[in-house]
Amino acid sequence: MSSADAAVEKGAEEEPTLELGVETADLAAVPLRVDGLEKQFGGITAVDGATFEVERGTITGLIGPNGAGKSTTFNLITGFHRPDAGAVYFDGDDVTEDSPHTLARKGLVRTFQIARELSEMTVMENMMLAPKGQSGEQLWRSVLPWTRGGVRAQESENLERTWRTLEFFELDHLWNEYAGNLSGGQRKLLEMARVLMTDPQVVLLDEPLAGVNPSLEKRLLEHLHELTDLGYTFLIVEHDMDVIMQHCEHVIVMHQGRVLAEGTPADIRDNEEVIDAYLGDDL
Amino acid sequence: MSGGSDPGSGPDSEASSGGDAQSDPPSDADPASADDPLTRVRESDVSLIVGGFLALYLGYVLVGIVAGLSPRGIFATVTQLTLLIAIYAMLTLSLNLHWGYTGLFNIGIVGFMAVGGYTFLMLTMQVAEPGVRSAGGLGLPFVVGLAGAVVAAAVLGFVVGLPSLRLRADYLAITTIAMAEIVRYFYQSNAFQQVELFGMSLGTGGGSGLVGDSTTPFDRYVYEAGWSEGLVDFLDETFRISGTLGPPIETLFDAIVLLVVVAGFYWLLKRTGGSPFGRVLKAIREDEDVANALGKDTGRFKMKSFMLGCALMGLAGALYVYFQLGNTVNPTVFRPRLTFFVWVALILGGAGSNTGSVLGAALFVGILFRGPLYVKNAVENIVAFPDSPATVAGALGGLLSLDPVPFLAFLFDNMGSLRIILLGVVLIVLMKRRPQGLLGHRKETAAAVPLVPTETTATGGLTPGSEGPEATDGGEPGGGGERP
């Protein structure tokens, strides 16, 4: 698809003007570390001692058969569930007990398996929601006349960034559209664009390519690579093995709540245990 | 899925009111109308409200004239109508903050009103010596009473919200409706009917309620100030309302005061909604997990929104007691049906729209609540019905013998109850035909600056929306006209 290529070119040439990116100079090389996470639901052990690390500036794939505990691990890392045991370290700090919004403010943000756009808000509103530290989120500041100037200035600032991010993801022509009217793929793009507006360091993407057509998938992956070059770190749950093998620097395989294997895509491909896990389960 | 199919011309087309966007989803936008100032005025919120009110008044006046009601009667009806609409508009606007913006399912409105109304009276009533037959108040000024009502309702909101806002929406509904009943029974019980404290007789008045100072606001602020005579003469001459003008003029005064308060509510809630704060509220309404995942402390936002709405409901309750109930209150006023009337008004007008809330209140009170009774009076003024049958059987019996008169007489005689049935029918039709209400398109953009691309943005530059910073405050959201 020629427009996809054009898109990449466009994104590439505008890169310098983007205010995206993470200052990685004085940050730890391992922003996210998970140590012995356990979670039980009733009698079912969903996650059983998962331990792994995610390196900065990489796309790390988290794979495994259905029911391996990938999504639960995501929920445990991002604070949506509390682990029964184990710990999550972000930038060296123990963040196991942090709630999702605290983690998001620290720079650890997630997307959802099914794109959860805010459907009765416009694309623009969706995007403008995300930036952190918005003074206008204090009620009195946005209501009282003499404090509103500062709020406006900040809004205009965020608006500029929003436009550039929307252009990066080529959603700018949809700015005034209700998010609920977007196509499935556009929603995925919107969700990723929105997450970047929070100034994340590490982004957890739960099946970002599910239901996305091949050309858009290609573009999304190209975006991901551009973004890792800018310093972002991604942890991805994905079922498409080709994607994982071609695009991830590092792959973690989960099986029955544990980390079965870890390594480069090449290592994983040849790993007998992994093949057994997939064949023995549902493949 | 062809996003960015034409990256080269993208910047140009986006300036023209999202032209690209139209191809994808269904669109009812009329690009031509965007530039027409007349259309913008016609579509602006204020003119919608004013137009709605005028249409309602016109209907009332026309019905009155046809039925041959006295001008004084029509005038009194319309002013009373306005008064009630104003109260309902305040409540609907507050509920819109809860439900339309934040998605909080509050069905305990009447509880917050009761607390506001009672607190107001207990603060402002004359101090009563111990041993007097009925309880007195603290004798504080009017404004202090209102402030007390606001604070009391907000505190109650905090107490109710603390355990229930964390839970799913239905639990908030259960908690609030239970709270409203508890509040009513609390005021009804004689536990605190009359308590002697610090040499004063205080209390809730129990089942008989509280009776405040009977001086009307008009008497206090206009008549005693001495400029009422000129006003009365002026209105008398202007509207040719013969006879003494006491009560209707007082009601008119009250109605105008309350309309000003409604304008204040509207302004406040419009500002709240059209801000980054309101944006988070909308996000919570759409999907709380997403808002949470994006770093918003949704619990705090929900609590703030809930308390603000409750405080405003308390204020509306106090004003209801003072202006509509003649500064008296008793527990039977605050029965749950009041809550559902406010909900009907909100659903009518469209949840999520402040303008819709005001219009919904006007339509509910004007057509569904007061309308049937007014029409009944009007019709009975023209036609003298024979005595109506006492039972439904009697009414239907007439129909069998092809004589509709008993049936009609029965209908008109029971209009007070039948309008509740009408209410239900309207709700059902609305839910089937237009579930979003009149203006429930939720187009009120939440941002402190217009989210409109400018030429500079379109060419990859900066400063979008740097002109017209007031646009989101009063007028059309999104800079006007662009409604894909």
How much is the ipTM here? 0.84
* Inter-chain residue contact A109 with B445, CB threshold 8 Å: no
Is B12 in the A-facing interface, judged by CB distances under 8 Å? Answer: no
* Inter-chain residue contact B294 with A119, CB threshold 8 Å: no
Q: What angle do CA B255, B317, B151 make, to 5 degrees?
A: 125
Is A143 in the B-facing interface, judged by CB distances under 8 Å? Answer: yes
What distance in Å separates the CA atoms of residue B302 and residue B98, rounded to the nearest whole number? 9
Q: Give the model's confidence band at B25: pLDDT under 50 very low, under 70 low, under 90 confident, else very high.
A: very low
Is B293 in the A-facing interface, judged by CB distances under 8 Å? Answer: yes
- Which of B24, B287, B447 comes nearest A128 by C-beta? B447
* Inter-chain residue contact B25 with A177, CB threshold 8 Å: yes
Q: Is pLDDT of B431 > 70?
A: yes
* Inter-chain residue contact B283 with A189, CB threshold 8 Å: no
If residue A5 lies in a helix (H) or strand (E), which one and from where to where? helix A2-14
* Inter-chain residue contact B3 with A194, CB threshold 8 Å: no
pLDDT tens-digit profile, chain A (283 residues): 444 444 444 444 334 334 556 666 566 778 888 888 889 888 888 888 888 989 888 899 998 888 888 889 989 999 999 999 999 999 888 888 889 999 999 999 998 877 788 888 889 989 999 888 888 888 888 778 777 788 888 888 888 889 888 888 888 888 888 888 888 888 888 888 899 898 888 999 988 887 778 888 888 888 889 888 888 899 999 888 888 888 898 999 988 888 888 888 888 888 888 888 776 654 4
- Which of A6, A118, A181 comes nearest B286 by C-beta? A118
Provide the residue type at B120 as one letter: F
What distance in Å separates the CA atoms of residue B256 and residue B262, rounded to the nearest whole number? 10
3-state secondary structure of A61: strand
List pLDDT tens digits, range B185-216.
999 888 777 777 776 777 788 878 888 877 76
Report pTM. 0.82
Distance of residue A71 Cα from the nearest chain B Cα, in angstroms: 15
| Closest residue in chain A to residue B265, using alpha carbons only | A143
List pLDDT tens digits, range B230-248.
666 676 666 555 555 556 7
Is B459 in the A-facing interface, judged by CB distances under 8 Å? Answer: no
Radius of gyration of chain A (CA): 19
The class of domain B75-336 in CATH terms is mainly alpha
The domain segmentation of chain A, as residue ranges, is 2-18+25-118+198-281
Tell me, what DSSP letter sits at residue A235?
Answer: E
Provide CATH code, domain A2-18+25-118+198-281: 3.40.50.300
- Which of B26, B275, B442 comes nearest A136 by C-beta? B275
3-state secondary structure of A9: helix
Q: Which of B306, B449, B454, B463 to mutate to test the interface with A (most CBs of A within 10 A)?
A: B449
* Inter-chain residue contact A176 with B21, CB threshold 8 Å: yes
Is A218 in the B-facing interface, judged by CB distances under 8 Å? Answer: no
